[in-house]
Amino acid sequence: MRKVLVTGGAGFIGSHVAEHLISRGYDVTVLDDLSGGFEDNLVAGVRFVKGSINDVELVDTLFDQHSFDYVFHLAAYAAEGLSHFIKRFNYQNNLIGSVNLINASINHEIKCFVFTSSIAVYGSSPQLPMTEETPPHPEDPYGIAKLAVEQELRVCKEMFDLNYIIFRPHNVYGERQNIGDKYRNVVGIFMNQILQGKPMTIFGDGTQTRAFSYIGDVAPIIAEAIEVPDAYNQVFNIGADQPYSVNELAHCVAKAMQVEAQVTHLPPRNEVLNAYSSHEKVRRVFGERQLVSLEDGLSRMAAWVKAHGARSSQKFKMIEVMKNFPQAWLD
């Protein structure tokens, strides 16, 4: 069996990718420190190792023991807005941790390194939808770190012949998402607030637009990418096509949760106003696929959320910069 390492495999997207790899017959090892994931997310058949990608000795030991053929790197702390205030933590986990994996992948001559980047690498763009050729101008440390890893993979291909595949997903939602994280994943935040009988909170006037991507449209393509030769050493936007305002999303979530929409607007924070991407390239390489509508995807997630219940929102305890920190995150 071909051996695969999935980092962040107890998290949201990572657990779904691991599940699809298992179904495709791969031997899957999951490395996750459970800082944002849960053991309940681990799917049957995976080998679980609790640990961090920042533990160089552990990473090297795993590569020595298992002789991985492929690496799927999904471990990250993906809070764009919060990343301004946790710069050191962001770069240590999202950049240096990635470099630890890249070094081990080169030294053990893996066949391909699959990296989950982000639409955050683009920042604000006058070109909408954004394509893979849109010049990247990230506006937060999270996007900067993701772009740095992309560039590192490009030069490692040139220097060491390390094959890579990069995906830039955006606003992914669905079953197994950590709805208790108040700093990221707006769909999960809304549903968790509804379960607790609270109004949905929106930063600013809610006119900012995003395309919200159902996990079932994203994870299968990431998992099968290593079997698609035309995907090697390429970058792909992946996710939903249709943008919605956050105000529209709130009403859609309320409908899925079968409640009346109650919204509280908070002072705006520094964020990109409009961000959504084109997916012509991923369709060209992986084929046309029927995407799940926002209504159907939210209904599926709502059923899962109701079955699992609300989660307590945990405060991030290692804030490094307090200047301009949103008051709503302090309350």
Q: What is the pLDDT of residues 130-174, one digit of tens each?
A: 999 999 999 999 999 999 999 999 999 999 999 999 999 999 999
How far apart are the C-alpha atoms of 48 and 316, rounded to whole Å?
Answer: 26
Is 280 inside a domain boundary? no
Please tell me the predicted confidence (pLDDT) of residue 46. Answer: 98
Is 23 inside a domain boundary? yes
Is 284 inside a domain boundary? no
Residue 192 has pLDDT above 80, yes or no: yes
Domain carrying residue 29: 3-172+213-238
How far apart are the C-alpha atoms of 102 and 156, rounded to whole Å?
Answer: 8
Residue 313 has pLDDT above 80, yes or no: no
Is 285 inside a domain boundary? no
DSSP strand E in 123-242: where? 164-169, 172-173, 200-203, 209-211, 213-214, 234-238
173 forms bridges with which residues in the sheet? 214
Please tell me the predicted confidence (pLDDT) of residue 330. Answer: 86
Residues in the chain, total: 331
pTM of the prediction? 0.96
Please tell me the predicted confidence (pLDDT) of residue 79. Answer: 87
Q: Are residues 159 and 194 in the same domain?
A: no
Please tell me the predicted confidence (pLDDT) of residue 154. Answer: 98
Please tell me the predicted confidence (pLDDT) of residue 187. Answer: 98
Q: Are residues 92 and 43 in the same domain?
A: yes
Let me know: does 17 contact 223? Beta carbons within 8 Å: yes
Let me know: does 49 contact 9? Beta carbons within 8 Å: no
Across residues 2-10, what is the average pLDDT? 98
What mean pLDDT is reported for the chain? 96
Please tell me the predicted confidence (pLDDT) of residue 180. Answer: 92
Residue 331 has pLDDT above 80, yes or no: no
Please tell me the predicted confidence (pLDDT) of residue 97. Answer: 98
Please tell me the predicted confidence (pLDDT) of residue 314. Answer: 73
Residue 111 has pLDDT above 90, yes or no: yes
How far apart are the C-alpha atoms of 35 and 51, rounded to whole Å?
Answer: 10
